[in-house]
Amino acid sequence: MFATVSRSLWSDTVAFADIARPKLTQNIEVDVAIVGAGFTGLWTAYYLKQLAPNLSIVVVDANHVGFGASGRNGGWCSALFPASFNKLAKLFGEAQAKRMHAAMVGNINEIARVIELENIDCEWAHGGTVIAARSQIQLQRAKGEVKEHSANGLPASDLEFLSANEIASHANFSDALGGTFTPNCAALNPAKLVHGLARVVESLGVQIYENSPVSQITKNKVTLGVNEICAKFIVRATEGYSPTIRQARRAVVPVYSLMIATEPLPDSFWQQTGLAQRQTFSDFRNLVIYGQRTADNRIAFGGRGAPYHFGSAIKPENDQVPEVHTLLEQTLLELFPAITGTKITHTWGGALGIARDWMASCGLDSQTGLAWAGGYVGDGVSTSNLAGRTLADLITGQSSELTTLPWVNHSSRNWEPEPLRWLGINSGLIAVKHADAVETNKGRTSKVNSLLGRFIGG
| Residues near ligand FAD, by CB under 6 A | 35-41, 60-63, 67-70, 72-76, 78, 213-214, 237-241, 244-245, 257, 259, 290, 302, 349-352, 374, 376, 378-382, 384
Q: Which is nearer to ligand FAD, 238 or 361 (CB)?
A: 238
Instruction: Output 132 or 252, the one with its CB closest to ligand FAD.
Output: 252
CB of 140 vs ligand FAD, minimal distance in Å: 26
Tell me whether residue 238 or residue 286 sits nearer to ligand FAD (CB atom): 238
Q: How far is the CB of 336 from ligand FAD (least distance, A)?
A: 18
The residue (of 177 and 370) whose beta carbon lies closer to ligand FAD is: 370
Hey, CA dihedral for 252, 421, 323, 457, is it positive or negative? negative
User: Is the CB of 213 or the CB of 337 nearer to ligand FAD?
Assistant: 213
Residue 359 C-beta: closest distance to ligand FAD, Å: 14
Q: Kindly tell me which of 34 and 167 has the beta carbon lying closer to ligand FAD.
A: 34
* Minimum CB distance to ligand FAD, residue 408 (Å): 16
Instruction: Report how far apart, in Å, the C-alpha atoms of 284 and of each of 256, 300, 355 are.
Output: 20, 18, 24
- Of 95, 3, 109, 68, nearest in space to 349 by CA: 68
Q: Which residue is nearest to ligand FAD (CB)?
A: 380
Minimal distance, residue 136 CB to ligand FAD, in Å: 28
Q: What are phi and psi of 214, to 5 degrees?
A: -100, 135
In one-letter notation, the amino acid at residue 54 is N
As beta bridge partners, residue 311 has: none
Shortest distance in whole angstroms from residue 427 CB to ligand FAD: 22
Closest to ligand FAD by CB, 120 or 137: 120
Residues 13 and 264 sit within 8 Å (Cβ to Cβ): no
CB of 444 to ligand FAD, least distance (A): 25
**Chain-centre distance for alpha carbon 155:** 24
Between residues 139 and 321, which has the closer beta carbon with respect to ligand FAD?
321
∠ CA 251-253-258, nearest 5°, is 150
Q: Which is nearer to ligand FAD, 150 or 320 (CB)?
A: 320
Of residues 178 and 350, the one with the C-beta less far from ligand FAD: 350
Cβ closer to ligand FAD: 89 or 321?
A: 321
Min. distance of Cβ 129 from ligand FAD in angstroms? Answer: 10
- Contacts of residue 1, Cβ cutoff 8 Å, sequence gap at least 6: none
In the complex, the smallest distance separating the C-beta of residue 280 from ligand FAD, rounded to whole angstroms, is 7
In the complex, the smallest distance separating the C-beta of residue 234 from ligand FAD, rounded to whole angstroms, is: 12
CB of 238 to ligand FAD, least distance (A): 4
